[in-house]
Structure 1
Amino acid sequence: MKTDLQKVRNIGISAHIDSGKTTLTERILFYTDRIHAIHDVKGKDGVGATMDSMELEKERGITIASAATYCEWKGHEINIIDTPGHVDFTIEVERSLRVLDGAILVLCSVSGVQSQSITVDAQMKRYKVPCIAFVNKCDRSGANPFRVIGQLNEKLGHNAVAMQLPIGLEDNHNGVVDLLNMKAYYFDGDNGETIRVEEIPAELVDEAQAKREELIDQASLFSEALTDAILEEAEITEEMIVEAVRVGTIKRQITPVFMGSAYKNKAVQPLLDAVTRYLPTPDDIHNEALDLDAEEAPVVLEGDKNKPTVALAFKLEDGQYGQLTYIRVYQGSLKKGDTVNNSKNGRKIKVGRLVRMHASEMEDITEVSAGYIGALFGVDCASGDTFVDPAINYSMMSMFVPEPVISLSITPKDNKAQINMSKALNRFTKEDPTFRSFIDDETNETIIEGMGELHLEVYVERMKREYNAEVETGKPRVAYRETITQRAEFDYTHKKQTGGSGQFGKVMGFIEPLEDELFSFESKVVGGRIPTQFIPSCEKGFNSCMAKGPKLEFPVTGVAVTLVDGGFHAVDSSEMAFQAAARGAFKQAYERAKPVIQEPIMKVEIETPNEFQGPCMGLINQRRGIILGSQDEGTMSRIEAHVPLAEMFGFSTVLRSSTQGKAQYTMEFSSYKTVPASVSEDIEKTVREERAAK
């Protein structure tokens, strides 16, 4: 590692799924001599892309986990993180953008700005990450990079400006015109490694001139020297435009747009030049930590390697040598043998092995300086922990972690699978903050939660492959409840006579529905009809009936019990007798109180492009949903609805297929509501069948 921060760039490559992020990264690594052969993402040749090192990634042709690498280009060190595009792996993008200084937003020249492009852009805004855009796939049928630039401005609110002009599109895409030096660039050779610079084709000269004027006009807002040159009609140099565009890009007020085709090896080298020219150095970015000793006052971090160390653990992986912790150093430096504190729990950590990552390969190093990304071995910590010099107590601001939206029950096939499954769940929940697991008290099943069906599918598959844990997945049982709908009286005597003293307890009173509470108990017994010491036993007896309802053994909720009268026996009455009397009384009154089943209702919010608003509303109506309202937000619509949880399984797949993958939804628990009679009959039938099968 060199330590000239002016020559360092930490960038991420993010976009909608299938825009060509991993293909672009593969080309960048090839042109910077990090790899010596290009492989396809789909792994047709059995190798797969360098950055997709997981077997599952090669098979499915998608990126699941973000991978880090580094390369050199014209004396600059570029640290790159290739992130997934699928909405289910959104945390991977989130944590990568948290530690990066700049990003390349990749867009497809045919599809343009898609739903995940919008999500990624929102994440960039959250962490104020400057970006340049690359309109990929200009060789595809229907390619139109200038329509994509229009969408960048309209849909994402960018001030996007073209830095290049394509020479031909679709099958005729041969290269690009550079609007700075007004030259045409062609990419020859088997892999586009030979750059040929020529004069602009005659038919493009006028368009290139017009686009250059637009570029200078936008850039002049960020440079007085450029504005003066325009007003005085002096010569406008390339350096003036570069400097102005760089200032605008770092302020996130201008988005330079480049174009080409990564798959066809066109125009990747000029994009690398753009990374070194326009994206910020670690020093250009304002990073803050919170001083825990001074009521979390913000502290500005400096990229000085002699200052006290501040580093953030942003991603965990279980490698073959133990836990691998990816870190970004913001201030100071981490050296082999150093001792640092974990500011979250105050534990001291000794830095053992330090490495630099190149996808799944690693290279041992002795120090990670401020502004660099590296990885540690053998450190026990969680994602988002801050490592600091023992002299200070700072914490980096944590990243945004979305709530899981879907769950599945998993059952191990045998005892060995049970042990391996526990190990896998322990590791996955530590690695991924959006993946959670717990044991359901009501059903005793192990439930896993995540961001989508693909997310959970991938983890179940990884359990089988990496841990040899054979598990079966099932639809999780919805947490139904029972309640009563009317008042009912009870008059119950518990008598039991066996040799010696028997059991006797008599209770009288009523039960009635209760709003917004699970259970309440009140005693109106007077005149010592039930001795005071036995009243708590009655309450305990009634309360014990709430765990399993007499109707279908679902938990009971919303019952108020009032004890009015009773009777006792001087010898045979006991706490146990009154508990038994209360249980009998509850069963007696419960049947008369017209019990019903309640189901969890979820608040569902769907974001969809306007053209799919009708189909989305149709999907909600099919699922017993109630639409609360919808609002237009430019080109997108937001629909709010209440839908029973039981109807939401498999919804993400149906929603994506109905909207060309452009809509996404979130859901959270809202309340419990009574199940309609027809559905109630189905539930009763299912429960009886389950009982009969046991």
Structure 2
Amino acid sequence: MSIVDLSSEINRRRTFAIISHPDAGKTTLTEKLLLYGGAIHLAGSVKSRKAQRHAVSDWMEIEKQRGISVTSSVMQFDYDGFRINILDTPGHQDFSEDTYRTLMAVDSAVMIIDVAKGVEAQTKKLFKVCKQRGIPIFTFVNKLDRFGKNPFELMEEIEKVLEIRAYPMNWPIGIDGDYKGVYNRQKAQIELFEEAGSRGQKVLPSVLGSVDDPAFAEMLGENIHKALCDDIELLDMAGDTFDLEKVAQGELTPMFFGSAMTNFGVRNFLEEFLRLAPPPADRKSSVGMVETKNEKFSAFVFKIQANMNPAHRDRLAFIRICSGKFTRGMTVVHEKSGKTLKLAQPQQFLAQDRTIIDEAFPGDIVGLFDPGVFSIGDTICEPGQSLVFEDFPVFPPEQFARVQAKDTMKRKQFVKGITQLTQEGAVQLFKQADGGMESCIIGTVGSLQFDVLEYRLKHEYGVDILMHHLPYELARWMHGTNVKPASLRGADRGMFVYDVKDRPVLLVANEWALRWVADNNPSIEFLVAPPDKQPE
């Protein structure tokens, strides 16, 4: 394939994640984007847990029961000449590790903010990761069909709390949080909610293309029209100028107002986002930057998912293509093991629905059957290359429990389930020096992960478990010479364990206990991540 053809395929791709605090409308917006792209013909109900239809991106049974997303999902579709890869992520903070890994695979992010609640706690955390990664962030202020904050107040909140300038691409029409529609600043055009239940949108262009058009005043009423004119004048005089370079550098966020539930403003947002968002970017590696237009294929694994198809009990590794063209049946080298692999049944996704594909390009997300070779962060590339893409961060768990199978006859299934769910990154696994897998220590970021672990072990592996929660909140990897339980002063104040790579870890109840142990063992470093995976 020529570089020209490869470049054109790269330039039409947009790979992005949707992030938000829980209940801001992330999964709903994802569904509506799929709806406009023709990928689905009927949006699922994400609000009613008893509804027959559920959000397409929420494919796990536990997600349908609880009405939340607990794992990231991948959706690909075409729209207006673009090939779009959306990675829908869990909003709940208990599943933030999955979200962080997903953000390693995207080129931009869409941040959803509830118009009534503004910037919430989980939004701050996810935004910080995007900022660290230097990826452009687009803001969609959702639920405009409900009462909400003053838009200037929201702008100020974004700029103060997240420390990024905001440029409104459109502006709410209304007074005191009661909104009627939006004014499109680029098109000088008013869009009003449909009166019949606000389902959809009606575009009402001005004859003169200006907010000063008397026809606007007649449509909106004098008070609302005057408030809109004053707002637009203030924005034009005192607001930021739009600078795509600043967007690319993560210094400015284009801001859109709309309502995903009623479809209002979604199509306009999608079209503007595709126009402004960056195509796939070059990637850092052990041999320097790998250019997307490099004709030699390379990719990395950012997610592993077992049992996406319960009937086949399969295990899939999701890869992000970084360079070159991927073709079905191609041979690649797995860098970590040095093994040569043939990629025979590559798949692309609409959540759990899959299609076998013949080719894919940089920016695309492809699913590969995993015979147990892949781990999160692994690099694969065409033979003749030797490179490793930048490593993934490891986050210290904050809750711990001893877990074992209720029925000892189910030991084999228990070990398989724990091993696979650990490889997925769903939980972190620790073992004591004298302990086997019959009774292991599980670490999580939040308590919901224990619920998911218990549910999946029962329904996917047929194992009921006994779980005993432990009184620890901190995990610290120990680095030094001769780190052993017998030589560690104060080990009785916590629990000495090993991670899956046999690196020593100390679990303690609080910062005070950690300081006591650290003070009494000055030759040992206590790290929030393994020594080879320290955060920047």
**Partners of 2:340 and 2:175 in 1: CA distance:** 58
Matched to 1:28, the amino acid is L
Aligned-pair CA distance for 1:437:
4.0
Query: Which residue of 11, 16, 21 corresponds with 2:21?
Result: 16
Aligned residue in 2 for 1:76? 82
Query: Which residue of 361, 365, 368 corresponds with 1:373?
Result: 365
Aligned residue in 2 for 1:27? 32
**Partners of 2:45 and 2:414 in 1: CA distance:** 33
Could you tell me whether the CA contact under 8 Å between 2:282 and 2:292 is conserved in 1? no
SS at match of 2:123: helix
**Partners of 1:518 and 1:370 in 2: CA distance:** 44
Could you tell me whether the CA contact under 8 Å between 1:135 and 1:145 is conserved in 2? no
Aligned residue in 2 for 1:287? 283
**Partners of 2:168 and 2:488 in 1: CA distance:** 62
**Partners of 1:127 and 1:667 in 2: CA distance:** 32
Aligned-pair CA distance for 1:187:
5.0
Aligned-pair CA distance for 1:420:
1.9
1:237-277, CA deviations, whole angstroms, 9 ceiling, x for partnerless residues? Answer: xxxxxxxx433211222111111121232211111012112
Q: Structure 1 667/113 Cα, relative in aligned 2: closer, same or farther at 3 Å?
A: farther
The equivalences for 1:335-354 within 5 A come to: 335-354=327-346
SS at match of 1:381: coil
Aligned-pair CA distance for 1:667:
10
Query: Which residue of 408, 417, 429 corresponds with 2:422?
Result: 429
Pairing 1:448–2:454 present: no
Query: Which residue of 326, 330, 355 corresponds with 1:363?
Result: 355
Matched to 1:463, the amino acid is L
**Partners of 1:478 and 1:254 in 2: CA distance:** 41
Matched to 2:248, the amino acid is I
User: What percent identity do the matched residue pairs reach?
Assistant: 27
Matched to 1:78, the amino acid is I
Pairing 1:401–2:394 present: yes
The equivalences for 1:162-561 within 5 A come to: 162-168=168-174, 172-188=178-194, 192-193=199-200, 195-199=202-206, 200=211, 201-202=216-217, 203=225, 204-214=228-238, 217-219=240-242, 245-282=243-280, 285-291=281-287, 298=288, 300-304=289-293, 307-318=295-306, 319-320=308-309, 321=312, 322-379=314-371, 380-432=373-425, 435-439=428-432, 441=434, 445-476=439-470
Q: Structure 1 369/183 Cα, relative in aligned 2: closer, same or farther at 3 Å?
A: same
Matched to 2:326, the amino acid is L
Could you tell me whether the CA contact under 8 Å between 1:249 and 1:256 is conserved in 2? yes
**Partners of 1:439 and 1:196 in 2: CA distance:** 64
Matched to 1:262, the amino acid is A
Pairing 1:58–2:61 present: no
**Partners of 2:325 and 2:245 in 1: CA distance:** 28
SS at match of 1:36: coil
Matched to 1:248, the amino acid is K
**Partners of 1:557 and 1:125 in 2: CA distance:** 39
Aligned-pair CA distance for 1:598:
4.9
Aligned-pair CA distance for 1:55:
1.1
Aligned-pair CA distance for 1:131:
1.1
SS at match of 2:45: coil
Could you tell me whether the CA contact under 8 Å between 1:333 and 1:370 is conserved in 2? yes
Matched to 1:87, the amino acid is Q
The equivalences for 1:658-669 within 5 A come to: 669=514
TM-score under structure 1 length normalisation: 0.63
Pairing 1:40–2:45 present: yes
**Partners of 2:181 and 2:84 in 1: CA distance:** 24
SS at match of 1:107: strand
TM-score under structure 2 length normalisation: 0.80
Could you tell me whether the CA contact under 8 Å between 2:297 and 2:382 is conserved in 1? yes
Could you tell me whether the CA contact under 8 Å between 1:440 and 1:446 is conserved in 2? no
**Partners of 2:189 and 2:246 in 1: CA distance:** 24
**Partners of 1:214 and 1:354 in 2: CA distance:** 51
Aligned-pair CA distance for 1:287:
2.0
Aligned residue in 1 for 2:158? 152
Could you tell me whether the CA contact under 8 Å between 1:17 and 1:86 is conserved in 2? yes
1:364-413, CA deviations, whole angstroms, 9 ceiling, x for partnerless residues? Answer: 11112223222112452111100111111011001212122211012322
1:592-641, CA deviations, whole angstroms, 9 ceiling, x for partnerless residues? Answer: xxxx9952399xxxxxxxxxxxxxxxxxxxxxxxxxxxxxxxxxxxxxxx
Aligned-pair CA distance for 1:672:
4.6
Could you tell me whether the CA contact under 8 Å between 1:354 and 1:365 is conserved in 2? yes
Q: Structure 1 106/477 Cα, relative in aligned 2: closer, same or farther at 3 Å?
A: closer
**Partners of 1:60 and 1:191 in 2: CA distance:** 27
Q: Select the structure with the greater relative contact order (CA < 8 A; seq sep ≥ 6).
A: 2
Aligned residue in 1 for 2:122? 116
Q: Structure 1 433/460 Cα, relative in aligned 2: closer, same or farther at 3 Å?
A: closer
Q: Structure 1 386/247 Cα, relative in aligned 2: closer, same or farther at 3 Å?
A: same
**Partners of 2:337 and 2:292 in 1: CA distance:** 25
Matched to 1:66, the amino acid is S
Aligned residue in 1 for 2:221? none
**Partners of 1:260 and 1:667 in 2: CA distance:** 47
| Structure whose CA Rg is larger | 1
Could you tell me whether the CA contact under 8 Å between 1:139 and 1:171 is conserved in 2? no
SS at match of 2:458: helix
Aligned residue in 2 for 1:505? none
SS at match of 1:64: coil
1:148-196, CA deviations, whole angstroms, 9 ceiling, x for partnerless residues? Answer: 2111111111011211111237884332110112111135477844542
**Partners of 1:668 and 1:207 in 2: CA distance:** 55
Aligned residue in 2 for 1:140? 146
The equivalences for 1:586-605 within 5 A come to: 598-600=492-494
1:548-601, CA deviations, whole angstroms, 9 ceiling, x for partnerless residues? Answer: xxxxxxx8976xxxxxxxxxxxxxxxxxxxxxxxxxxxxxxxxxxxxx995239
Aligned-pair CA distance for 1:442:
7.4
Q: Alpha carbon RMSD of aligned pairs, Å?
A: 3.2
Q: Structure 1 394/194 Cα, relative in aligned 2: closer, same or farther at 3 Å?
A: same
More divergent stretch after superposition (432-441 vs 30-39): 432-441
1:511-536, CA deviations, whole angstroms, 9 ceiling, x for partnerless residues? Answer: xxxxx9999xxxxxxxxxxxxxxxxx
Matched to 2:302, the amino acid is F
Matched to 2:429, the amino acid is R
Q: Structure 1 169/11 Cα, relative in aligned 2: closer, same or farther at 3 Å?
A: farther
**Partners of 2:495 and 2:156 in 1: CA distance:** 41
Could you tell me whether the CA contact under 8 Å between 1:310 and 1:386 is conserved in 2? yes
More divergent stretch after superposition (155-164 vs 197-206): 197-206
Number of matched pairs: 471
Could you tell me whether the CA contact under 8 Å between 2:491 and 2:517 is conserved in 1? no
**Partners of 1:209 and 1:77 in 2: CA distance:** 37
**Partners of 1:597 and 1:35 in 2: CA distance:** 56
Q: Structure 1 185/410 Cα, relative in aligned 2: closer, same or farther at 3 Å?
A: same
**Partners of 1:317 and 1:557 in 2: CA distance:** 38
Could you tell me whether the CA contact under 8 Å between 1:405 and 1:667 is conserved in 2? no
Could you tell me whether the CA contact under 8 Å between 1:57 and 1:64 is conserved in 2? yes
Could you tell me whether the CA contact under 8 Å between 2:10 and 2:279 is conserved in 1? yes
Could you tell me whether the CA contact under 8 Å between 2:191 and 2:201 is conserved in 1? no
